[in-house]
Amino acid sequence: MHPKLHHLFFLKKNKKHQRKSLAIYLRITIDGQRAEVSTGKSVERNAWMPKTGRAKGCSKNTKRLNNELSLIELNLLEAYHSMIRRSETVTAVSLKNNYLGVEDDPKMLVSIFQQHNRRMAELVPKEFAPGTLERYKTSLTHTIEYMTWKFGASDINILRIDHDFIAEFDFFLRHIRGCSNNTTVKYLRNFRKIIRLCIAHGWLKKDPFVMYRAKVVQTQRVFLYEEELRAVMNKEFSIARLIRVRDIFLFSCFTGLAYADVRKIGPRNVFTDEDGRPWIAVNRTKTAAPSNVPLLPAAFRIIEKYQEHLYCKAKNRLLPVLSNQKMNSYLKEIADCCGIRKELTFHTARHTFATTVTLNNHVPIESVSKMLGHRNISATQHYAKLLDKKILHDIQPLFLKY
């Protein structure tokens, strides 16, 4: 005769009753033995019906909660009958472990994530940029914080990861951590890579991201108009550090190189073509994509200016680049001095090259894409959209005149 299963959902008081909502637990009873499982759900005490083990009311959220509890109940019964069919010993604890997917060698999320990050670290900088590794480390930190917030545990079996886990993770990042939409989507994309890894190994049968929908929203990219670029070029500074930062910023404006690339380039990255024109060639730090850019005279003069600089000679670099934090801090001073009311960062220079320096001077978008080191032209097309706004800006006087 099979052991009889009794189960019920109940509310568990939280410590010191600090929260209005109480956690919903599932109690499993077999032969007088009990085991409890957190459902990961919660409800206010006055909205709960202890006799039925369900929330009361007809609202959309209430119906959704009750449906989720019914699904948990169904999964428990499936686990119970599956153990019976396999003639396994069924106790409250063994059924709980079977329901939770606890195995002799359970696959735990954090250890899988850590292993992924360790292997990524071994491939830096050949396959991955250091910044990419740091983003995955941060994603792991947020994942642990989320599980502690949600389950009261710093790690879980990957079999417990379902759509609700993903949806709640999204909520946690947006409303608890205060991340923007794009930051939230990027962290969850990193997490999805770990899920795909689990699916590829056969540890997960279903993709919990199947019904998850979120996408990066294009943000306004700041770039300098022609007159603003000229203001930076022509401004005379008496402070050496501002002159240095201004020059390096302008170099990026005329080459389109990102901060990480400007910082690492040396004399080996400069070559001369068959017509004697200087070029700069570099594999982008972010994507490893090649970027070959003709050196405009303004950019070449900046290289010549610093070729005898002590830092450049000691480090075998073209330019004496400061830390990104210091560069951005000093660029704010430069913006103030030049009367520019934009949030000036070093990456503004790359945007300026793509828009004002090239596209606005009729350089074909295919050539701009190649120089920027974009893998596909769709990444470059966003800059063309920015120029539509510049057209509206430039044509404003005509609206008043006509």
Interstrand relation of 5-12 and 290-294 (parallel, antiparallel or unpaired): unpaired
Q: Given this model, what pLDDT does residue 74 score?
A: 94
Instruction: Please determine, for residue 171, whether its predicted confidence score (pLDDT) is greater than 60.
Output: yes
Enter the DSSP assignment of 157.
B
Enter the DSSP assignment of 34.
E
Only one residue has tokens 């350089």, namely 363
Percent of the chain with pLDDT over 70: 94
| 226-401 classified as CATH 1.10.443.10 | yes
* Choice between 232 and 102, residue whose per-residue pLDDT is larger: 232
For residues 51-77, average pLDDT = 93
pLDDT digit string (tens) for 284-323?
Answer: 877 778 889 999 999 999 999 999 999 999 999 999 999 9
Q: Given this model, what pLDDT does residue 19 score?
A: 61
Are 265 and 317 in contact by the 8 Å Cβ rule? The answer is yes
Tell me how far apart the alpha carbons of residues 317 and 262 are, in angstroms, rounded to a whole number: 9
Tell me how far apart the alpha carbons of residues 338 and 355 are, in angstroms, rounded to a whole number: 20
Q: Where does the pLDDT of residue 66 fall: very low under 50, low under 70, confident under 90, or very high at 90 and above? A: very high
Q: Given this model, what pLDDT does residue 313 score?
A: 94
Burial of 294 (0-12, 13-18, 19+ CB in 10 A): middle
Give the global pTM.
0.59
Domain boundaries, the chain: 5-100, 109-200, 226-401
**What are 54's strand-pairing partners?**
49
pLDDT digit string (tens) for 180-214?
Answer: 899 999 999 999 999 999 999 888 878 999 989 88
Tell me how far apart the alpha carbons of residues 255 and 262 are, in angstroms, rounded to a whole number: 9
Q: Given this model, what pLDDT does residue 381 score?
A: 81
CB atoms within 10 A of CB 247: 17
Q: Given this model, what pLDDT does residue 245 score?
A: 97
Cα distance between the two ends of the chain: 93
* Choice between 180 and 381, residue whose per-residue pLDDT is larger: 180
User: How many residues appear in the chain?
Assistant: 402
Are 69 and 9 in contact by the 8 Å Cβ rule? The answer is yes
Backbone phi, psi, residue 43, to 5°: -155, 155
Q: Where does the pLDDT of residue 31 fall: very low under 50, low under 70, confident under 90, or very high at 90 and above? A: confident
